[in-house]
Amino acid sequence: HFNFCSGPATLPTAVLERARDEMLDYQGRGLSVMEMSHRSDTFIDIAERAEADFRQLMGVPDNYSVLFMQGGATQQFACVPLNLLGAGGSGSYLDTGIWSQKALKEGRHLATASVAASAEDNGYTAAPAPRAILPASDAAYLHYCDNETIGGLQMDRVPEADLPLVCDMSSSILSKSVDVSKFGVIYAGAQKNIGPAGITVVIVRDDLLERARADTPTMLNWKAFADEGSMLNTPATYAWYLAGLVFDWLGEQGGVAAIERLNRRKAAKLYDAIDASGFYRNPIAAANRSLTNVPFVLHDASLNATFLEESEAAGLLTLKGHRSVGGMRASIYNAMPEEGVDRLVDFMGDFERRYG
Ligand code: PLP
């Protein structure tokens, strides 16, 4: 079976097998990782190795902290204004779809926030032009979402601004190379390319750790997490361990540059198949098509239920689009083998021949 779920996403089979083999007795310790103290030498070693491997995969410079938090990317929507607006000012947001809007909404709930540029004018099919990006004069950061998981719109460049850039990379982290030094903050829920749900990775440039509002709850305070090695309280130990196994696996695949080449090939196969047919359609501008989330509609929506039934029966799972968009969506993160995309493309061609 191939699972095209947008998140929690499929994990590499090799990772699941290793976790299974180690589940009851981790490397002869007589315990599962789930049962270990987070303060034990064994777990500290697991945690530190995961962070070191992640830093190496992403090329995180030394003047950045890497935090392993909980609460998902949604919690970071609150952490961003709380941790960055201690000296006043406002948050500035690019609006490229549903996830950017959720971040903006939380910014407005907790502080002052405005839209620096929006893709609304083009129906969320293309990123705002660089010259259209106009942050408010008192903005203390520019927030954007690199890849809109639902709409399938991905930024084709890092926006330029004289402000710390804050990026939601939930659905694109580790799928392509990124120059971390261009960012103030990067955050991502784990459940796409990092591991199971339960962990949220935050990369923060250290000078930005001094800007929190005084009323920031300790559990939302980046500096508090940085000071305690993310062990302010009991972390999501098992999810952290599994993330470490995924980082190992990604290293074995050749790292981010190698997986990016594979991801580009996978995505090209799928978009080419969609574009070559008169039966399927993806509305996103070529430069902004997501590498990891490919939404598409059938020309005849009355065939949706049949498409989903038959694809499921063919072992191609969770292709139903998000409830707000309809149609289909194939999420093809790092752990989706090229064979899964080949099978999907074959199925789509066959379905079109029978119903087109
Ligand atoms: N941001 C993006 C781009 C996402 O894709 C998601 C979830 O799919 C979220 C934020 C919310 O993440 P979480 O469920 O970890 O809060």
User: Do 337 and 316 have their domain in common?
Assistant: yes
Structural domain that includes position 83: 14-252
Establish whether 105 is a catalytic residue: no
Of the candidates 239, 227, 194, which has an alpha carbon nearest to the alpha carbon of residue 46? 239
Helix (H) or strand (E) holding 116, with range, is strand 113-118
Pull the structure tokens for residue 268: 């090209």
pLDDT digits (tens, 9 = 90+) for 176-233: 999 999 999 999 999 999 999 999 999 999 999 999 999 999 999 999 999 999 999 9
pLDDT digits (tens, 9 = 90+) for 34-92: 999 999 999 999 999 999 999 999 999 999 999 999 999 999 999 999 999 999 999 99
User: Do 307 and 162 have their domain in common?
Assistant: no
User: Do 28 and 159 have their domain in common?
Assistant: yes
User: Do 159 and 262 have their domain in common?
Assistant: no
Establish whether 206 is a catalytic residue: no
Establish whether 168 is a catalytic residue: yes
pLDDT digits (tens, 9 = 90+) for 287-299: 999 999 999 999 9
Count of domains observed in the chain = 2
Please choose from 93, 100, 149 the residue to mutate so as to test ligand 1's pocket, defined by most ligand atoms within 8 A of CB.
149
Could you tell me the distance, in angstroms and rounded to a whole number, from the CA of residue 169 to the centre of ligand 1? 9
- In this structure, the dihedral spanned by the alpha carbons of residues 57, 81, 100 and 180, taken in order and rounded to 10 degrees, is -20
User: Do 57 and 141 have their domain in common?
Assistant: yes
- Among 226, 252, 278, identify where a domain stops: 252
User: Do 235 and 346 have their domain in common?
Assistant: no
State the pLDDT confidence band at 356, using cuts at 50, 70 and 90: confident
User: Do 271 and 240 have their domain in common?
Assistant: no
> For the residues of 227-281, what is the DSSP string, one character each?
HTTT-SS---HHHHHHHHHHHHHHHHTTHHHHHHHHHHHHHHHHHHHHHH-SSEE
User: Do 153 and 263 have their domain in common?
Assistant: no
Here the CATH number for the domain that contains residue 305 is 3.90.1150.10
Residue with CA at minimum distance from ligand 1 atom 14: 72
Of the candidates 136, 138, 133, 168, which has an alpha carbon nearest to the alpha carbon of residue 154? 168
Which of these is catalytic: 192, 223, 266, 320?
Answer: 192
- Among 252, 282, 310, identify where a domain stops: 252
Which of these is catalytic: 53, 99, 223, 320?
Answer: 99
User: Do 269 and 138 have their domain in common?
Assistant: no
Q: Which amino acid is at 317?
A: L
- In this structure, the dihedral spanned by the alpha carbons of residues 93, 98, 103 and 106, taken in order and rounded to 10 degrees, is 120
| Mean pLDDT of the region 327-347 | 98
**Phi, psi (degrees; rounded to nearest 5) at 22:** -100, 0
Q: Can you tell me which atom of ligand 1 is nearest the CA of 169? A: 3
Tokens 């690199």, residue? 146
Q: Can you tell me which atom of ligand 1 is nearest the CA of 191? A: 15
Could you tell me the distance, in angstroms and rounded to a whole number, from the CA of residue 74 to the centre of ligand 1? 6
Could you tell me the distance, in angstroms and rounded to a whole number, from the CA of residue 302 to the centre of ligand 1? 30
User: Do 291 and 217 have their domain in common?
Assistant: no
User: Do 123 and 228 have their domain in common?
Assistant: yes
Secondary structure (3-state) at 167: strand
- Among 231, 252, 273, identify where a domain stops: 252
User: Do 66 and 160 have their domain in common?
Assistant: yes
